[in-house]
Amino acid sequence: MRSAITICLVPEASRGPFVFHGSLESGCRAAAEIGFDGVEIFPGTAAEVSAAVVQPLVAARGLAVAAIGTGAGWVKHGLHLVHADPEVRSQARAFVGGIIDAAGDLGSPAIIGSMQGRSGGEVSRELAITMLADALGDLGARATRHGQRLLYEPLNRYETDLFNRQAEAAAFLDAHGLANVRLLCDLFHMNIEEESLAGAIAQCGHRVGHIHWADSNRRAIGFGHTSIGPVVAALQAIGYEGWLSAEVLPWPTPAEAASQTIDSLRRGIAS
């Protein structure tokens, strides 16, 4: 398992759960100095994460790009994949598609979290789920062309009414034959929704593709009340070899959130 930390380039998400904000260069420098293997980037546009921009910065620090988020499509532009307006849905797909292409050039997957949207107006939950399946099919195929998987993240009930729990999302992906889509298991959302973090991971082993390594209060692991031992044991039992990525609040400071995360990974995985 490899360690990653988040860098947000979107001013509209300055209060979001990201450790470093504003500058890719200083975020990469800090990530490497603290000892992370990679960075997860939350850009405002696909151009901000073009290979020409990102590759030299990560290569200079010996970092990999763990994943690229697409949530700015929602936070910045008000787009999502199950919107009642077909033009908005099509812009949402184009936005995510652009990030999938940029991420693919960096050898990384893209994440669909907030961009899944929610039901509303004329769009029932049932219809929204049909729209989501169609979008994931199309965007998953686009990721496949880059030799990448697409990451789909169930969110807690306050952020979406589509899928809040890992097993329900895995069953949905299985039912629609979305073979190239993997689950992003965010431990913060799971703390709200799951009976057992470890149990959900064990149940969805074949689908787990990425982990947001966050405590119950969305601070760095160790600053909340999540018991991480069973989570690590479950990840080891399913043979998970992917990223543990700190999508957490920069509390009490970005540097302290980052060093607490590295400590939690070293202690959690070694023990």
Distance of CA 201 to the CA centre of its chain: 16
Helix (H, G, I), strand (E, B) or coil at 116: helix
Shortest gap between Cβ of 254 and ligand LER (angstroms)?
17
Taking CB under 5 A as the rule, does residue 40 contact Mn ion? no
Taking CB under 6 A as the rule, does residue 164 contact ligand LER? no
Name the one range near Mn ion by CB under 5 A: 51-59, 82-90, 211-219, 236-244: 211-219
DSSP letters of 51-111?
A: HHHHHHHHHHHT-EEEEEE-THHHHTT---TT-SSHHHHHHHHHHHHHHHHHHHHTT--EE
Which value, in Å, is the radius of gyration of the alpha carbons in the chain?
17
Do 185 and 143 form a contact (C-beta atoms < 8 A)?
no
Do 101 and 145 form a contact (C-beta atoms < 8 A)?
no
Q: How many residues bind ligand LER (CB under 6 A)?
A: 11
Instruction: For ligand LER, give the closer residue by CB, 9 or 61.
Output: 9
Shortest gap between Cβ of 52 and ligand LER (angstroms)?
26
Taking CB under 6 A as the rule, does residue 40 contact ligand LER? no
Taking CB under 5 A as the rule, does residue 247 contact Mn ion? yes
Shortest gap between Cβ of 221 and ligand LER (angstroms)?
15
Helix (H, G, I), strand (E, B) or coil at 241: coil
Q: Please, which of residues 125-154 interact with ligand LER by CB under 6 A?
A: 153
The site partner of 194 among Mn ion, ligand LER, none (C-beta below 5 to 8 Å per kind) is: none
Return the axis-axis angle of helices 125-145 and 86-105, rounded to nearest 10°. Answer: 30
Taking CB under 6 A as the rule, does residue 194 contact ligand LER? no
Query: Which residues of the chain form contacts with Mn ion (CB under 5 A)?
Result: 186, 212, 247
Query: Which residues of the chain form contacts with ligand LER (CB under 6 A)?
Result: 16-17, 71, 113-114, 153, 155, 159, 186, 212, 247
